[in-house]
Amino acid sequence: MSRLLRRSFIAAALLGLAAVAPASAQSSGAKVVLRFSLLSADSQSEVRKYWQPVLEDLARATGYEVQPFFSANYGLLVQAMGAKQTEVGWFSALPAVEAVDRAGAEVFARTVDDKGRDYYTSLILARKGSGLTLAKLLKCDKTLNFGLGDPNSTTGTLAPMTYLFNARHIDPKACFKTVRSAEHSVNLMAVANGVVDAATNNSTGMSYYKDGSPAAREAVTKTVVIWESPPLPESAVVYRKDLDPTVKRKIRDFFVNYGKAPGAEGEHQRQVLVNLKYSGFHGAVDSYLEPIRKMKAEQAKVAEH
């Protein structure tokens, strides 16, 4: 290969690489790609249906290419951000703490539910008509089957452990006949169908299930809440700290103003929020997650003993 040909080949390759640049290394004329992490534990198609309009609106508002990055496991989403495989993400509070502490992320927004609340609650469900009460659940006679959530779930594991079991010096493994960990939708169906006697869930999830698939709606009618936690910080939206400042500003401005536009655009955004069961996003910083840090520290102390 001649020197001139080699130079032409290298120049073409470099131009190809420059066409798509990570948001942390934005340069003039480069195409910025934002990979947005989303938990798809219940159903990737369902999550895509609710969030794809937001991602498309983000792309139009910023001029960046926005790609969804799905995983059924929060731990993998945190790892992906730490490995710079994603730039932005929607996390529940506990994995958001993990993303900040271990993956170089920072909080820039928080979700607000359709009633204007920036909090939600952990729940324990029992099968309707079973006669199971919280008092009976906590008898700890090892006759009941119990379902916790993902170990990295705020409402599925951390909150019930902190506010219910640890507060009473109860180890679920010593309390129940069996303890299993599953996602919220699986726990809902397990309680409704009698696979487990009780299981964790959360208030936001139950709102979705009431308007979800026929099977989910039916399952909700077969369950009853026997315990509810104190208010917990709602989900956070985070981006990597090392992103270009201009990129971060555009992302933050988009979220904190989403649903506030006038005219048809605003109507469209507000309908997207209705489908998400949100009324909007508020600006936030890492300290928003401080209640979760305290719960996590308490849980670590219990584990040491």
Residue 26's pLDDT is: 52
pLDDT tens string 90-113: 998 889 999 999 999 999 999 998
pLDDT band, very low/low/confident/very high, at 8 (cuts 50, 70, 90):
very low
pLDDT for 220-271, tens place per residue?
999 999 999 999 998 999 999 999 999 999 999 999 999 999 999 999 999 9
User: What CATH code is carried by the domain that includes residue 172?
Assistant: 3.40.190.10
Residues 100 and 29 in one domain: yes
Q: Which of 232, 255, 281 is the last residue of a domain?
A: 232
303 within some domain: no
Cβ-proximal residues to 25 (8 Å cutoff; 6+ apart), any chain: 244
Please give the order of strands across the beta sheet that includes 178-181: 178-181, 145-148, 198-202, 122-127, 223-228
pLDDT score recorded for residue 22: 62
pLDDT tens digit sequence for 141-193: 999 999 999 888 889 999 999 999 999 999 999 999 999 999 899 999 999 99
Q: How far is 204 from 206, CA to CA, in rounded Å?
A: 5
In a domain, 102, yes or no: yes
Show the beta-strand stretches assigned E in 214-269: 223-228, 232-233, 236-240
Q: Is residue 1 part of a domain?
A: no
Residues 134 and 202 reside in one and the same domain: yes
Per-residue pLDDT band for 117 (boundaries 50, 70, 90) equals confident
As a whole number, the mean pLDDT across the chain is 89
Together in a domain, 67 and 30: yes
The range of the structural domain enclosing residue 273 comes to 19-118+234-296
Tens digit of each residue's pLDDT (9 = 90 or more) over 41-67: 666 787 898 999 999 999 999 999 999
If you average pLDDT over residues 27-37, what whole number do you get? Answer: 82
Domains identified in the chain, total number = 2
Task: Write the burial class of residue 20 (CB in 10 Å: 0-12 exposed, 13-18 middle, 19+ buried).
Answer: exposed
Same domain, 161 and 100: no
% helix, strand, coil for the chain, step of 5: 50, 25, 25
Helices (H), 19-87: 44-62, 74-82
Going along the chain, which residue ranges are E strands? Answer: 20-22, 31-39, 65-71, 88-91, 105-113, 119-120, 122-127, 145-148, 178-181, 198-202, 223-228, 232-233, 236-240, 278-283
Do 186 and 167 share a structural domain?
A: yes
Q: Is the pTM of this model over 0.75?
A: yes
**End-of-domain residue from the set 204, 232, 260:** 232
User: In this structure, are 27 and 61 located in the same domain?
Assistant: yes
pLDDT, tens only, 273-304 = 999 989 999 999 999 999 999 988 888 887 77
